[in-house]
Amino acid sequence: MMGTNRIWSLVLGMLVAASWAYASGPLKIYILAGQSNMQGTAQITTFPHMAMDSVSKPLHDKLVDEDGVPRVHEDVYITAISKGGGWHATIDMAKQGPLTVGYGGPLESETMFGPELAFGVTMQELAGEPILLIKASWGGRSLYEHFRPPSAGELPDGKASGHYYRLMMEHVKEVLADPGKFHPAYDPEQGYEVAGFVWFQGYNDQFAPYPHLPAPEGQRRGPKDFTEYSRLLACLIRDVREEVNTPDMPVAIGVIGIGGHRNRDGQPPPEAMVVPLEGPLTLRQAMAAPAHMPEFKGTVAAVQTADFWDHELQAAHRRTRRLGGIRDVAYGLTPEGDVDFGSSQTEGWQSLGTPSLEERRWRYTAFDTAPGAQYDSTMVEGREQRFFRQDFPAAYAGWQLPDFDDSNWQEGPAPIGRGPFIRRRNAPEIHSAWDDGNMLLMRTTITLDPADYEAFRVCIMAKESYNIYLNGEKLFSYVWFQRDYHYRAYYLTAEQAAHLKKGDNVLAVQANIRHHGRGDNRAETNWVNLLFEGITKADHEKLLAFYDTIATAKDFEIASGRSNQDFHYLGSAKIYSRIGEALAIALHEMDQKKVQP
């Protein structure tokens, strides 16, 4: 048992540590603002890739523990305002607490993060005292219109602007009115200091109506001149400083760097880091320009986020995506609408079971679900997902099970189709008509010996959402719609393949129409067919060797570091974290110069 003196020694040590942590001076507050890349789209699944690089490994270890679990940083608190209700919602919501993951993307997400995570951890380490982050970020918003600061003047067309600037400042002032609500370290006697402002934005301004330069010979339109962006950004810096009453507040600008510094030839353009004294300016030059203005000397820094672009990650993703396209799209369609077995880029897969594919018959039926009742909607990792409900009419209970009696259903060969077709590529040929009803159920029985094959896949053609079953076990689900008809492949795991048996096996598909509710006749259209295929061990080895020529296991390991699109910095923990770290260092260096004699 621990002695009383030992316990009191530990308590006193904790009190001393706490007094150091929470009474070292004014609470330092940092404002972080911008659009979707300030929101951040990195998923926690991308952390392991960050640990693969010796450069980012030390930072990775500060963000997650030895088990890979994101750390909670008790000396850094954050209050964030952003969109709620998913990516396409318009409501705004706030979230606050100790800094950890979950402050990126839509704020319902518990797994997404952006540059704020590494920024807060790095800044706290540099400052050696508690800090509070105020984050205000909304995806798809421009400085030209949405964040337009008051001193920039109204838009030329008289359109209302600056809505998100005002939301940002309202939240900032709410926090500054009572910082103790947002960080337990706040001491009213010590007060607070607004110690820095970070601006990380720019993507949507590419599409704002900045003037075009004269078109080069042979081109229809010249590039845009973003000189006006630099004026707007300078106005933003002045206005924020004035509203928080901090005239020389350090400002770090995250210069947009999607794609890195390389041009189409893979070489860095020589003018990438050069900011001319006068226009015209590229967007990157315009974003960096305020750091070169005499009035902002020493108090505004431009951080080139292109420095942290991960070309290896981007290349690995492109290779795995190419392989994914080959693996996922099993077959196209012939001009007549049949399966085009010659369109596959892989060989070795063969149709399994008797009756043969040409002779196979399906039992099928359709019924109408209650309006709006065929889906449950929920949020998964910040995104809306819809899933089939299983509360079918009593007559269809257990419809996917092998012993279900489908003798009173219709019978015919697949594809089973319904509705008009808007031609984009090839129209499938309807072999059996799907009558009224927005939910289709179809079943067939095939006889085979699975021991003859090493791997199996099902290939489905369907326009809308579906579930696929094997001997009553659900194999795969898809919830969305497809614009073009093709056969999409799903590969059975060893556990799924264990449901196969020698002799009769029942394949079943549940599909629907009117999922996406677009209001056109695509919403009344679906053709459904399912192929079941296997591959021998010898052919499988050849196929895997072919796959390796496109993307290797190492490529897949690297590509796991991506969780979003290129314009969201690949949704990479490594990229976002290194950007956040660099922004914190830039602010701290300006702050240190400010106090030096």
Handedness of CA 282, 283, 286, 287 (dihedral sign): negative
Q: What is the pLDDT of residues 64-100, one digit of tens each?
A: 999 999 999 999 999 999 976 554 555 678 999 999 9
For the residues 342-348, what does the mean pLDDT come to? Answer: 88
Most confident of 153-162, 249-258, 371-380, 511-520: 249-258
**CB environment 322-348: b (16+ within 10 A), e (fewer):** ebeebbebbbbbeeebebbbeebeeeb
For the residues 54-70, what does the mean pLDDT come to? Answer: 97
Q: What is the pLDDT of residues 279-303, one digit of tens each?
A: 799 999 999 999 999 999 999 999 9
The pLDDT of residue 191 is 96
The per-residue DSSP string of 377-419 comes to EEEETTEEEEEE-----GGGTTTTSTT---TTSEEEPSPEEES
Based on its alpha-carbon atoms, the radius of gyration of the chain, rounded to whole angstroms, reads 29
The pLDDT of residue 379 is 47
User: pLDDT: is 477 or 430 the higher one?
Assistant: 477
The pLDDT of residue 513 is 77
Q: What is the pLDDT of residues 96-135, one digit of tens each?
A: 999 999 999 888 889 999 999 999 999 999 999 999 999 9
The per-residue DSSP string of 69-134 comes to PBP-EEEEEEEEEEE-SSTT---EEEEEEEE-S--SSSTT-SSEE-THHHHHHHHHHHHTS-EEEE
pLDDT value at 363 more than 80 = yes
pLDDT value at 4 more than 60 = no
For the residues 490-507, what does the mean pLDDT come to? Answer: 97
Q: How confident is the model at residue 48 (pLDDT cuts 50, 70, 90)?
A: very high
The total of other beta-carbon atoms located within 10 Å of residue 56's CB is 24
The pLDDT of residue 527 is 86
Q: How confident is the model at residue 337 (pLDDT cuts 50, 70, 90)?
A: confident
What is the C-alpha separation between 516 and 522, in angstroms, rounded?
9
Q: How confident is the model at residue 233 (pLDDT cuts 50, 70, 90)?
A: very high
What is the C-alpha separation between 226 and 287, in angstroms, rounded?
9
Q: Is the pTM of this model over 0.75?
A: yes
Place of tokens 């590969």: 491
Coil, helix or strand at residue 375: strand
The pLDDT of residue 483 is 66
Quote the mean pLDDT of the chain.
Answer: 87
User: Can you say whether residue 223 is alpha, beta or left, with left for phi > 0 and alpha for psi between -120 and 50 degrees?
Assistant: beta
The pLDDT of residue 432 is 84
For the residues 494-511, what does the mean pLDDT come to? Answer: 96
The pLDDT of residue 435 is 76
What is the C-alpha separation between 61 and 55, in angstroms, rounded?
12
Place of tokens 């800044």: 123
The pLDDT of residue 219 is 86
For the residues 379-387, what does the mean pLDDT come to? Answer: 48
Supply 107's token pair.
Answer: 């704020």
Could you tell me how many residues make up the chain? 597
Coil, helix or strand at residue 441: strand
**Alpha-carbon separation of residue 416 from 332, 364, 413 (angstroms):** 17, 8, 7
Q: How far apart are the first and last CA of the chain?
A: 54
The pLDDT of residue 99 is 98
What is the C-alpha separation between 238 and 235, in angstroms, rounded?
5
The pLDDT of residue 596 is 57
> Partners of 504 in the beta sheet?
447
The pLDDT of residue 393 is 83
Domains of the chain: 27-310+572-595 (3.40.50.1110), 322-550 (2.60.120)
Coil, helix or strand at residue 587: helix
CA-based nearest residue to 514, from 401, 394, 386: 386
What is the C-alpha separation between 131 and 142, in angstroms, rounded?
28
* DSSP H/E element including 526: strand 526-535
The pLDDT of residue 269 is 53
The pLDDT of residue 567 is 94
Residue 397, Cβ density class (10 Å: 0-12 exposed, 13-18 middle, ≥19 buried): exposed
What is the C-alpha separation between 424 and 422, in angstroms, rounded?
6
For the residues 196-219, what does the mean pLDDT come to? Answer: 94
What is the C-alpha separation between 151 and 153, in angstroms, rounded?
5
Question: Which amino acid is it at 72?
Answer: V
User: pLDDT: is 80 or 13 the higher one?
Assistant: 80
CA-based nearest residue to 547, from 348, 350, 276, 331: 348
Residue 354 carries which DSSP code?
B
Q: How confident is the model at residue 389 (pLDDT cuts 50, 70, 90)?
A: low
pLDDT value at 7 more than 70 = no
